[in-house]
Amino acid sequence: MKVFILFFLCHFISKAQTSDSLLFQLNSIENDTESVNQLYTQGFELRNSDPDNAWIFANACYKKAIKSENQKHLAKAYNLLGVLHYKKTHYLKAIQYQKKALTLNKQIGNKKGCAINLSNLGNIYSDINYFKQAESSYLEAIQINNSLGNTKEITRCLINIAALKHTLKQNDAAVSNLKQALFYANELNNYDLIAVCNNNIGIALTSQNKLDTALFYLQEALKMRILIDDEVDLANSYINIANVLNKQKEINEAFYYIVMAESYCKRYEIYDELVNLYSIKSEWFEYQHEYDSAIHYLKKHQLLKDSLITIERENTDLLSNEDSISEIEKETNTSKLVILVALFSLFLGSITSYFIFRKK
pLDDT at 338 over 50: no
Q: Which residues contact 284 (CB under 8 A, 6 or more apart)?
A: 242, 246, 251, 254, 255, 258, 294
Q: Which pLDDT score, from 0 to 100, does residue 348 have?
A: 47
Q: Which pLDDT score, from 0 to 100, does residue 329 have?
A: 41
Instruction: Report pLDDT digits (tens) over 28-37.
Output: 565 667 778 7
309-318, long-range: CB < 8 A, 24+ apart? 309/347, 311/340, 311/343, 311/344, 311/347, 312/344, 312/347, 312/348, 315/340, 315/344
Instruction: Report pLDDT digits (tens) over 208-254.
Output: 999 999 999 999 999 999 999 998 899 999 999 999 999 999 999 99
Q: Which pLDDT score, from 0 to 100, does residue 354 have?
A: 44
Instruction: Report pLDDT digits (tens) over 49-72.
Output: 788 888 888 888 888 888 888 999
Q: Which pLDDT score, from 0 to 100, does residue 353 have?
A: 45
Query: What's the predicted TM-score (pTM) here?
Result: 0.63
Q: CB of 212 within 8 A of CB of 247?
A: no
Domains identified in the chain and CATH numbers: 31-149 (1.25.40.10), 189-317+341-360 (1.25.40.10)
CA 214, 219, 225, 228: dihedral to nearest 10 degrees?
-130
Nearest Cα to 214, choosing from 184, 185, 241? 241
Nearest Cα to 188, choosing from 164, 162, 222, 153? 153
CA 160, 162, 165, 171: dihedral to nearest 10 degrees?
-160
pLDDT at 205 over 50: yes
Q: Which pLDDT score, from 0 to 100, does residue 352 have?
A: 43
Distance from first CA to last CA of the chain, Å, rounded?
Answer: 41
